């Protein structure tokens, strides 16, 4: 095979002007700006801020659970903290973090100058802060206390104003996420550079295609459920209130029809990002590009038909439980294809074990644990025992923290040079990884055992016999909290002092690395040229022509623009 | 060897030719997508005159109506999918109740059929009327557009009026029973959509006063309003069947 | 992709198998099993742990080996081998999970069926008239805001019915279970006993009719590995057979308010003789006057007990106690009608 290369035009005189006049000022990030990169950063920072708020709530939860008695916070406040922790982490930390990378990377990766609808994009982002504000304000009027699932009848008979604000806030954030998804789909399907066929799209784009499809088809069902819930709450109807003939189980169906897909909305973007990170730092093509690409779509499809596995104990007919059990377990197959594909990608490579890669491999290692416990939960028979226990809490923190959050960190370390033009400090990054990895496992591994022996979730007081394991969890939670410190220091330091990155410090092949770091305002000075598949590493053994290896070309492509 | 990607190579192998390969510029002009980006990305904050990338679309491309990739309609379709799912969730919940509650509909929730049937006829036929408007525009008949859209707007208003009349004469209130609640929430939510559609039609009419705003080639607003109106119409047919005919 | 030598693969395979089999039997994660159902579930769980351990070692092992073996040598700036895929390998790792999940599904289905999960009476296959009338409550209740007894008795909450061999047979004992914020009330329709704890005989099939008065609760007995939501306005059934004498916790597993965490009770599994004795003691204690029986309800005592430590928050509790009160009135009728 010969590799034929095309090199973008050398920059003309405009390069310098560009440097001076089109640099973003910090104020831009606080305005209604339609540049997708600004919006991406806005999402990212928002996500970080709320993950800290949600994380602090988690620390309060763990502090309370260090002892069997409700002595640190009252049981009522505990429920409020727990509800807000779940809601905030899901809707204001992980979902926006996915949107952040989608916004920042999609146009760059497909060689477009911006999203299909830049204004809509900005509108979508600016719906999130008011949503967050509503949620936070609810602490002043009595925060919601019915869990992030807000099951009626409890949610219609407790914390009236808190619940109203919760609904409003979720409706806003949901709308924002639908608008975002419409933008992503349109951009990816319609605005790729002409030479980029669907099968040359980076895997992150495939993942986002699946995510956007899920968002568009399921988010509004949640909206429907919440509209009905708010009528129950405010107007006194009884859609879900048995006191008036309503049926709380219908709410559960509607809620999970969204919220199960939501868990894939929360993890698929990071599947995509990790699929980008691993090949770059293992210096090997991703293993089974098409398999990984299509499995995202399959996961999305299956994700739409398994929702009732959250309701095995609540009143679904027996044969339906069996259907949902089998469908749920099937998701292990496409997910397995990904996990095996990633493992095979790094196997035999030449691994650069930097922070991005550490978190990338940590992602596989931790997500695997959550996935395996997920398949156990999928068995309706076993779920009768562990539903609503800490086994479930352990499961979903492994997929959400071990999966989504670890993926976020991997992506942050990987694209930091692109976003800021500077390298991160690897030592701090590695410390961050080790602390996170230890703390995370210490917090969430014992929870599985706790759940199996009889600790149910959402409780502020528990059986004193379970105290030892709970204290392990609490210690782990503190360690995890500490692990954020090296990360923050690293970011703040590197953004000002980090070594200059150049255009393509990782020698990566996807298009975003063909432009300057940080990218010019409209991304590319020249329309970028697709001269290799996104993961064609290892082609340096093949000469492009007699004099130069692809490798060398790559360096120059990266260095010049 | 197992390389899955065919390499993209429009030009001969490129050993760092100092002059730009002509192909890359050509590609840009060939590509309708790239050349129209600027035009159809709804305003970006960037001052175009200052950007390095000033690919102003060649003027003549604009007139090729068929080719121009206006993604907005695509976006509208996506939005309608989401909206459909919202109605679907309400319908499914309604069906679940209907199937599981024994005395359904509960006593005291008889509904009148005559007025809603008239309303249905009005709404459904308004879709056809509206389509005539768009056809007129396609023939560059602007006043045709205005007339037909005007009639559509009137019919829409009539529909809303009928609905309001029905509400004020219904025998049951919102919280009377489950069926009553559903009746109001479903029709009300649909009515809200009709009102939005009406707003779109009126804004099309308003803008059409300005000469040249809409033409046979340029009519995103008209198209969007129409597809939305059809959507609202289809939803009504389902709703009418479920709530009035099959209840 | 360079697969390690056959010998190494073989040895690794055998080691992984042995380790997982051992772990599957000796994980010690589950509490004691006190019912037939529990033993079956544990068998399933052991299999799942075995499979999970094997997959865990396989993948984490590959990751760890990669980290150590395939590090970039210092100064080496070349890339790894350009392997894009390996179709046979990919087919294998698609097929194996398919087989695993099929096995797990079928096994789970089997156990579920044997536990009675597919009994048509309990799983929605046929209308359950028996359950419909066990929850008749006079309509006058519905104006008591949270007492949720709707006119739609057609809805059943499903649960675990009779196991296939017991289908059609009546259970040896039937107990009505009522969840309310924050206690469980057990009513024995045959004897009129009302209790805050569940007493059952060992070795006999017991059927619980589970419902709630205010919000969702869930009836969970960890040692029996079974759980069922208690839904206001509906009755779910749960049948099981205890195999071990002892005292085990009953836990509310569905968030039901601030004191959800203390909504606990006990199940006592007696030998049949002890059970009869308990019945007699109770019957002496409870006269015909049901009001009195309710007043002496141990459930109320245990409520007070758990509320005592939080005396400072009586603001919340006043409301709670009101609930309790209202519900107890309801229970009177509840048990009266179910007799
Ligand atoms: C990112 C989020 C995320 C992800 C990705 C997942 C992934 C999965 N989840 Fe999880 N889940 C949650 C977030 C997530 N979940 C949350 C938040 C809850 C609780 C909600 C609440 O009640 O508050 C929950 C609860 C939950 C339940 C309900 C438990 C209960 O309440 O009783 C179930 C039950 O089926 C379940 C199953 C699964 C399964 C089968 C997967 C699968 O997708 C996992 C697939 C992955 C693998 C299996 C690993 C890799 C595969 C291989 C290596 C191949 C070989 C493996 C096998 C053949 C086994 N999850
Ligand atoms: C993504 C989701 C997420 C994350 C990250 C976490 C993080 C943590 N969670 Fe939580 N949790 C949930 C989602 C999450 N949780 C949900 C949905 C529930 C269920 C609620 C309910 O029942 O209704 C729950 C419930 C829950 C419980 C059970 C409460 C109960 O049932 O009573 C506990 C108990 O220990 C707990 C603990 C923790 C701890 C100690 C952490 C710590 O690891 C926290 C430390 C935080 C950090 C170290 C910051 C993490 C960084 C990021 C999130 C990304 C950074 C972003 C950028 C860089 C852009 N969580
Ligand atoms: Cu009752 Cu929790
Ligand atoms: Cu799920």
ipTM of the complex: 0.85
| Parallel/antiparallel/unpaired status of strands C183-188 and C193-195 | antiparallel
Distance from the CA of A259 to the center of ligand 1, in angstroms? 12
Task: Identify the band that residue A556 occupies on the pLDDT scale cut at 50, 70 and 90.
Answer: low
Phi-psi region of C39 (alpha: psi -120 to 50; beta: other; left: phi over 0): alpha
Chain B residues 22-81 with CB within 8 Å of chain A:
23-24, 27-28, 30-31, 33-34, 37-38, 41-46, 50-53, 69, 71-72, 74-75, 78-79, 81
What's the rounded Cα separation, in Å, for the pair A132 and A57?
A: 15
Residue C256 CB–ligand 3 contact under 6 Å: yes
Which two tokens mark A443? 């917090």
Helix (H, G, I), strand (E, B), or coil: what is residue A445?
A: helix
Beta bridge partners of C238: C160, C208
Check residues A508 and A22 and name the one with the higher pLDDT.
A508
Mean pLDDT of C301-326: 42
Buried b (16+ CB within 10 A) or exposed e, A506-523: bbbbbbbbbbbbbbbbbb
Unique residue bearing structure tokens 């989401």? B82
Question: For position B135, what pLDDT does the model report?
Answer: 87
Q: What is the pLDDT of residue B22?
A: 37
The confidence band for A558, taking pLDDT boundaries of 50, 70 and 90, is: low
Query: How far, in Å, is the centroid of ligand 2 from the Cα of C56?
Result: 24
Tell me the shortest Cα–Cα distance from B101 to chain C, in angstroms: 5
Work out the mean pLDDT of chain C and round it to a whole number. Answer: 75
Using DSSP's 3-state secondary structure scheme, residue A285 falls into: coil
pLDDT at residue A1 in the model = 32
Angle at A221 between CA B124 and CA A177, to 5 degrees: 105
Nearest CA to ligand 1 atom 36: A374
CA dist B241 and C2 (Å) reads: 63
Q: Based on C-alpha coordinates, what's the Rg of chain A?
A: 24
Residue A518's pLDDT band (cuts 50, 70, 90): confident
> Quick one: average pLDDT of A54-58?
94
Average pLDDT over residues C262-270: 92
Are C154 and B106 an interchain contact pair (Cβ–Cβ within 8 Å)? no
| Residue in B closest to A545 by C-alpha | B15
* Among the ranges given (A22-36, A348-362, C208-222, C234-248), the one the predictor scored with the smallest mean pLDDT: A22-36
Q: Is the separation of the CB atoms in C336 and C138 below 8 Å?
A: no
A8-53 pLDDT per residue, tens: 444 433 434 444 445 677 777 777 888 888 999 999 999 999 999 9
Query: Measured between alpha carbons, how far is residue A205 from residues A287, A317, B88 in Å?
Result: 17, 39, 29
- Please judge whether A8 and B15 are an interchain contact, meaning their C-beta atoms are less than 8 angstroms apart: no
Give the other-Cβ count within 10 Å of A210's Cβ: 26
In a mutagenesis test of the A interface, which of B53, B175, B186 is the best target, namely the one with the most A β-carbons within 10 Å? B53
- Enumerate residues 82 to 111 of chain B having a beta carbon within 8 A of any beta carbon in chain C: 100-103, 106
Segment A160-176 shows an average pLDDT of: 93
Is B2 touching C (CB cutoff 8 A)?
yes
Name the residue ranges covered by the structural domains of chain C: 5-70+92-115, 158-293
Q: What is the pLDDT of residue A509?
A: 83
Chains in contact with chain C (at least 3 beta-carbon pairs closer than 8 A):
A, B
Window B:176-195, CB contacts with A under 8 Å: 177-178, 181-182, 185, 189
Which residue bears the tokens 């968030």?
A: C255
Please say whether the beta carbons of A276 and A359 come within 8 A: no
Q: What is the pLDDT averaged over residues B134-160?
A: 88
Residues 6+ apart with CB under 8 A from C181: C214, C215, C256, C257, C259, C263, C320, C323, C324
Q: C158-293: what CATH class?
A: mainly beta
Ligand nearest to the Cα of A154, by number: 3
Q: How far, in whole angstroms, is CA C276 from its chain's centroid?
A: 27
- Strands, DSSP E only, in C196-301? 198-201, 205-212, 217-221, 226-230, 236-241, 246-252, 264-270
The Cα of C326 is separated from the nearest Cα of chain B by a number of Å equal to: 24
* Structure confidence at residue A552 (pLDDT): 56
What is the overall mean pLDDT for chain A? 87
Q: How far is CA A512 from the centre of its chain?
A: 20
Do C16 and C57 form a contact (C-beta atoms < 8 A)?
yes
What pLDDT does residue B33 have? 41
- The rounded distance, in Å, linking the Cα atoms of C44 and A330 is 18
Given a cut of 90, whether residue A376 has pLDDT beyond it is yes
The residue whose CA has the least distance to atom 47 of ligand 1 is A371
Q: Give residue A550's pLDDT band: very low, low, confident or very high (50, 70, 90).
A: low
Check: CB of residue A255 under 8 Å from CB of residue A174: no
Q: Does position B74 have pLDDT exceeding 70, yes or no? A: yes
Distance (Å, rounded) from C-alpha C174 to C-alpha C171?
A: 7
- Least Cα separation, residue C313 to chain A (angstroms): 9
Would the CB of A480 count as within 6 Å of ligand 2? Answer: yes
**Separation CA A470–CA A444 (nearest Å):** 10
Q: pLDDT-derived band of residue B141, with 50, 70 and 90 as boundaries? A: confident
Residue C330 pLDDT: 40
So what's the pLDDT on residue C145? Answer: 33
Residue A219: which of B20, B42, B82 has the nearest Cβ? Answer: B82
User: Once rounded to an integer, what is the mean pLDDT over residues C41-52?
Assistant: 94
**What average pLDDT does range A439-454 have in this prediction?**
94
Which residues of chain C make contact with B4, given a CB cutoff of 8 A?
84-85
Query: How far is the CA of A90 from the CAs of A148, A325, A457, C2, C176, in angstroms?
Result: 9, 25, 18, 40, 39
> In terms of Cα–Cα distance, which of C306, C183, C255 is closest to A68?
C306
Which residue is it, tokens 């149910």? A456
> Best-predicted range by mean pLDDT among A240-244, A463-467, B219-223?
A463-467
The response to whether residue C100 sits with its C-beta less than 6 Å from ligand 1 reads yes
Tell whether C153 is within 8 A of chain B (Cβ).
Answer: yes
3-state secondary structure of A398: helix
Nearest bound ligand to the CA of residue C216: 3
| A560 vs C220: which has the higher pLDDT | C220
Find out whether the beta carbon of A489 lies less than 6 Å from any atom of ligand 1.
Answer: no
For CA atoms A26, A29, A35, A39, give the dihedral sign: positive
List residues bridging with B50 in a β-sheet: none
DSSP, res A200: G
Interface test with A, best of C254, C262, C264, C305 (most A CBs within 10 A): C254
Q: In angstroms, what is the span from residue A89 Cα to ligand 2's centroid?
A: 6
Spatial distance between the Cα atoms of A462 and A64, rounded to a whole number of angstroms: 11
């Amino acid at each position: 095979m010969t590799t034929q290369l095309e090199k973008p035009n050398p920059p003309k005189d405009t390069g310098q002007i560009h440097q001076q006049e089109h640099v973003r000022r910090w104020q831009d990030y606080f305005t209604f700006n339609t540049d997708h990169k600004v919006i991406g950063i806005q999402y990212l920072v928002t996500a970080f801020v709320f993950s800290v708020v949600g994380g602090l709530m988690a620390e309060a939860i763990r502090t309370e659970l260090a002892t069997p008695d409700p002595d640190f916070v009252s049981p009522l406040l505990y429920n409020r903290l727990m509800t807000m922790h779940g809601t905030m982490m899901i809707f204001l930390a992980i979902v926006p973090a996915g949107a952040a990378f989608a916004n920042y990377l999609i146009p760059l990766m497909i060689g477009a100058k911006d999203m299909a609808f830049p204004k809509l994009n900005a509108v979508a982002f600016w719906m999130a802060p008011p949503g967050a504000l509503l949620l936070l304000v609810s602490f002043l009027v009595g925060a919601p206390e019915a869990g992030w699932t807000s099951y009626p009848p409890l949610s219609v008979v407790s914390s009236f104003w808190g619940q109203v604000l919760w609904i409003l806030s979720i409706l806003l954030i949901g709308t924002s996420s639908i608008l975002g998804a419409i933008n992503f789909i349109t951009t990816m399907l319609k605005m790729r550079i002409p030479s980029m066929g669907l099968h040359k799209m980076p895997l992150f784009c495939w993942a986002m295609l699946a995510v956007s499809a899920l968002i568009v088809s399921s988010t509004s069902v949640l909206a429907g459920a919440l509209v009905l819930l708010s009528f129950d709450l405010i107007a006194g109807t009884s859609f879900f209130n048995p006191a008036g003939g309503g049926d709380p189980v219908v709410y559960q169906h509607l809620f999970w029809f969204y919220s199960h897909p939501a868990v894939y909305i929360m993890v698929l973007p990071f599947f995509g990002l990790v699929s980008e990170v691993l090949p770059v730092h293992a210096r090997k093509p991703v293993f089974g590009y098409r398999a990984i690409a299509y499995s995202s779509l399959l996961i999305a499809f299956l994700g739409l038909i398994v929702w009732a596995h959250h309701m095995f104990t609540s009143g679904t007919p027996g044969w339906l439980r069996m259907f949902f059990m089998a469908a749920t377990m099937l998701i292990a197959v496409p997910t397995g294809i990904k996990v095996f594909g990633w493992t095979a990608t790094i196997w035999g490579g030449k691994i650069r074990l930097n922070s991005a890669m550490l978190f990338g491999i940590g992602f596989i290692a931790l997500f695997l644990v959550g996935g395996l416990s997920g398949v156990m939960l999928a068995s309706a028979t076993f779920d009768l025992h562990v539903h609503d226990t800490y086994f479930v809490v352990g499961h979903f923190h492994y997929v959400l923290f071990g999966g989504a959050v670890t993926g976020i960190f991997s992506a942050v370390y990987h694209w930091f040079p692109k976003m800021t033009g500077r390298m991160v400090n690897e030592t701090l990054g590695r410390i961050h990884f080790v602390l996170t990895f230890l703390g995370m496992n210490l917090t969430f591994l014992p929870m599985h055992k706790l759940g199996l022996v009889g600790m149910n979730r959402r409780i502020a007081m528990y059986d004193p016999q379970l105290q030892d394991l709970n204290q392990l969890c609490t210690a782990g939670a503190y360690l995890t909290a500490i692990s954020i410190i090296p990360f923050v220091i690293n970011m703040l330091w590197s953004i000002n002092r980090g070594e200059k990155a150049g255009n393509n410090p990782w020698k990566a092949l996807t298009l975003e690395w063909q432009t300057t770091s940080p990218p010019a305002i409209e991304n590319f000075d020249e329309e970028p040229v697709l001269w290799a598949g996104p993961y064609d590493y290892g082609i340096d053994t093949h000469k492009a022509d007699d004099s130069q290896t692809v490798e060398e070309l790559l360096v120059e492509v990266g260095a010049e623009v | 060897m197992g390389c899955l990607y065919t390499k993209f190579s429009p030009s001969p192998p490129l050993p760092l030719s100092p002059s730009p390969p002509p192909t890359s510029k050509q590609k840009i002009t060939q590509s309708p997508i790239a050349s129209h980006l600027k035009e159809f990305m709804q305003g970006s904050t960037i001052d175009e005159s200052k950007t390095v990338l000033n690919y102003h679309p060649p003027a003549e491309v604009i007139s090729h109506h068929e080719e121009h990739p206006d993604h907005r309609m695509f976006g509208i379709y996506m939005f309608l999918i989401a909206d459909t799912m919202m109605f679907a969730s309400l319908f499914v919940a309604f069906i679940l109740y209907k199937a599981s509650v024994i005395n359904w509909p509960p006593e005291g929730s008889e509904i009148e059929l005559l007025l809603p049937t008239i309303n249905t006829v009005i709404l459904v036929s308004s879709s056809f009327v509206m389509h005539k408007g768009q056809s007129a525009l396609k023939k560059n008949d602007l006043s045709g557009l205005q007339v037909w859209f005007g009639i559509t707007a009137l019919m829409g208003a009539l529909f809303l009026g009928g609905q309001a009349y029905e509400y004020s004469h219904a025998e049951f209130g919102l919280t009377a029973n489950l069926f009553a609640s559903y009746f109001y929430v479903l029709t009300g939510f649909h009515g809200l959509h009709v009102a939005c559609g009406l707003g779109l039609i009126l804004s099309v009419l308003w803008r059409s006063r300005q000469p040249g705003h809409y033409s046979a080639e340029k009519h995103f607003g008209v198209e969007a309003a129409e597809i939305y109106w059809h959507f609202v119409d289809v939803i009504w047919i389902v709703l009418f069947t479920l709530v009035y005919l099959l209840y | 992709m360079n697969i390690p030598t056959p010998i190494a693969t073989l040895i690794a395979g055998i080691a992984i198998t042995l380790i997982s089999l051992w772990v599957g039997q000796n994980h010690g994660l589950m509490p004691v099993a006190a019912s037939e159902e529990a033993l079956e579930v544990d068998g399933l769980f052991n299999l799942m742990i075995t499979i999970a351990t094997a997959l865990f070692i396989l993948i984490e092992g590959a990751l760890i080996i990669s980290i150590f073996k395939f590090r970039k040598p210092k100064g080496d700036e070349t890339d790894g081998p350009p392997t894009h895929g390996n179709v046979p390998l990919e087919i294998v790792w698609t097929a194996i999970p398919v087989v695993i999940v099929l096995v797990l599904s079928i096994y789970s289905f089997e156990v579920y069926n044997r536990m009675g999960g597919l009994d048509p009476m309990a799983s929605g296959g046929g209308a359950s008239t028996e359950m419909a009338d066990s929850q008749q409550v006079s309509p006058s209740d519905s104006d008591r805001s949270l007492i949720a007894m709707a006119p739609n008795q057609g809805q059943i909450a499903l649960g675990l019915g009779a196991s296939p061999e017991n289908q059609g047979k009546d259970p040896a004992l039937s107990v009505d279970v009522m969840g309310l914020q924050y206690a469980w009330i057990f009513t024995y329709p045959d004897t009129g006993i009302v209790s805050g704890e569940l007493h059952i005989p060992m070795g006999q099939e017991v059927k619980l009719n589970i419902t709630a008065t205010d919000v969702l609760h869930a009836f969970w007995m960890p040692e029996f590995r079974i759980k069922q939501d208690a839904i206001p306005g509906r009755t779910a059934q749960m049948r099981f057979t205890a195999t071990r004498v002892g005292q085990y916790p009953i836990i509310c597993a569905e968030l039901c308010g601030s004191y959800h965490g203390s909504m606990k009770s006990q199940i006592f599994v007696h030998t049949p003789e002890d059970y009869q004795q308990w019945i007699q003691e109770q019957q002496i204690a409870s006269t015909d006057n049901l009001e009195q029986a309710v007043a002496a309800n141990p459930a109320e005592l245990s409520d007070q007990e758990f509320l005592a430590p939080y005396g400072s928050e009586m603001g919340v509790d006043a409301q709670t106690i009101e609930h309790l009160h209202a519900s107890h009135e309801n229970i009177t009728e509840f048990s009266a009608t179910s007799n």
